[in-house]
Amino acid sequence: MTEKVLGVILGGGQGSRLSPLTQTRSKPAVPIAGKYRLVDIPISNCLNSGIHRMFVLTQFNSASLNKHIKNTYHFSHFSDAFVDILAAEQTPENPTWFQGTADAVRQTMHHLLNHEFEYVLILSGDQLYQMDFNEMVNAHIESKAEVTLATIPVTAKDGTDFGILKANEENIITSFTEKPNSELIKEWSSDTGPEMQAEGRNYLASMGIYIFNRDLLIRIFEENPNEKDFGKEIIPMVLNQYRVLSYQYEGYWTDIGNISSFFEANLGLTDDIPKFNLFDSHQSIFTRPRMLPPSKILGTTLNKAVIAEGCILQAEAISHAVIGIRSRIGRGTKIENAYIMGSDRYQTLQQIQEENDAGHPLIGIGDDCEISNAIIDKNCRIGNSVKIKGGMHLPDGDFGFYAVKDGIVVVKKGAIVPSGTTI
């Protein structure tokens, strides 16, 4: 049935909660796991599910996202597969940019309707999960639903951050509330099954993943031209008028909403058996093929580390860390609880000599550094004997070339950190 499905991936807005990683890029373009971008996750889930026609809706800081998609997703000329970018565009009929998730789909609907499809699968560009959309599409069709929401059981503590719903015996949604407070949520418990209930996950949360019947989505937009958001406006409205299914998903899923969740999701990849499995041949994560050399490691003690390709590591020790593409880490350096995003290019031997002669730090991390509880964004130049030690003792704030959020130090993209600096 997936040949009847058109995928729509939402590029998101400003992404201020993930700042400073989103100062120069959109949330879906943020590097994850050392070599991927966040947008690779929903695209890969679609490809693995047999959904080969996708639009990515972009607006904010979209240049790097557009470049990544253009350079990554190429298909045979004899296939109807595509991953196309639809950027926000002002027209005589609509002079505004995207005003919300529903408004983004509404404004681009005329492009979508140039293709044949029966169902629209609407996805977020900033979530980490591995899901077979075939099962969700089949459940939607078999239940004769007009709208389907992917839902996930959550605890009462987590539930206050999501839209929470209730469903009947047929899994048809009967009521919905957006981000209930800690007192109100007690009234919204559901029968999520014995396994989920044993973990205290008694509340059904919307994952922000929707299937709409094509004709219904057209009608909703025609009859409600001022509704801007799916979660806050469209979904609560359609519950009383149409057959809306809850498709319960129980695998790993996390919304990359802030620096803390982003940091935890990346470091979770270093676990013995990570919840998000990069090594699953049936649910591969696709990204841009870079033709990089293998990583070279010289005298480094590694423990619970994920190392991307093209790295040159001379560090003393790397523990509980993700090391991104083309990373260069100098002698005597110790890295723990950190995500090093790596670099977009190598420096030539001549450039290295010129930088050394001028006393400038090279791209990468120098000698005798200590880095912990930190994210080092791409293309940073960190000198020798630099100490970056995050923790809850540090106040949140923006401090020029770095920021601190929830005790995590984030060194900004392209920052130059002089030798001897201590944070």
pLDDT reported for residue 126 = 86
pTM above 0.85, yes or no: yes
What is the domain range of residue 260?
Answer: 2-270
Residues 177 and 32 in one domain: yes
* Tens of pLDDT, residues 361-416: 999 999 999 999 999 999 999 999 999 999 999 999 999 999 999 999 999 999 99
Instruction: Copy the structure tokens of residue 39.
Output: 């947008």
Is there a domain that residue 283 lies in?
Answer: no
* Tens of pLDDT, residues 27-73: 889 999 999 999 999 999 999 999 999 999 887 777 888 889 988 99
**Phi, psi (5° rounding) for residue 102?**
-70, -40
Number of domains in the chain: 2
Residue 210, beta-bridge partner list: 122, 149
Residues 343 and 392 in one domain: yes
316, 335 in Cβ contact below 8 A? no
Residues 15 and 59 in one domain: yes
Is there a domain that residue 285 lies in?
Answer: no
Is there a domain that residue 288 lies in?
Answer: no
* Tens of pLDDT, residues 272-327: 999 999 998 889 999 999 999 999 999 999 999 999 999 999 999 999 999 999 99
Is there a domain that residue 87 lies in?
Answer: yes
pLDDT reported for residue 49 = 95
Residues 139 and 226 in one domain: yes
pLDDT reported for residue 95 = 61
Instruction: Copy the structure tokens of residue 89.
Output: 């565009």
pLDDT top residue among 96 and 257:
257
* Tens of pLDDT, residues 327-374: 999 999 999 999 999 999 999 999 999 999 998 999 999 999 999 999
Is there a domain that residue 129 lies in?
Answer: yes
Q: Is the pLDDT of residue 261 over 80?
A: yes
- Alpha-carbon distance of 255 to 408, in angstroms, equals 18
The CATH number given to whatever domain includes residue 374 is: 2.160.10.10
Q: Per mean pLDDT, which range of 185-199, 255-269, 309-323 is the poorest?
A: 185-199
Domain end, chosen from 235, 270, 305, is at: 270
pLDDT category of residue 97 using cuts at 50, 70 and 90: low
Residues 198 and 301 in one domain: no
- Alpha-carbon distance of 334 to 328, in angstroms, equals 13
Q: Is the pLDDT of residue 240 over 80?
A: yes
Average pLDDT over residues 225-233: 82
pLDDT reported for residue 90 = 60
Q: Per this entry, what is the length of the chain? A: 423
The CATH number given to whatever domain includes residue 118 is: 3.90.550.10
* Tens of pLDDT, residues 167-177: 998 999 999 98
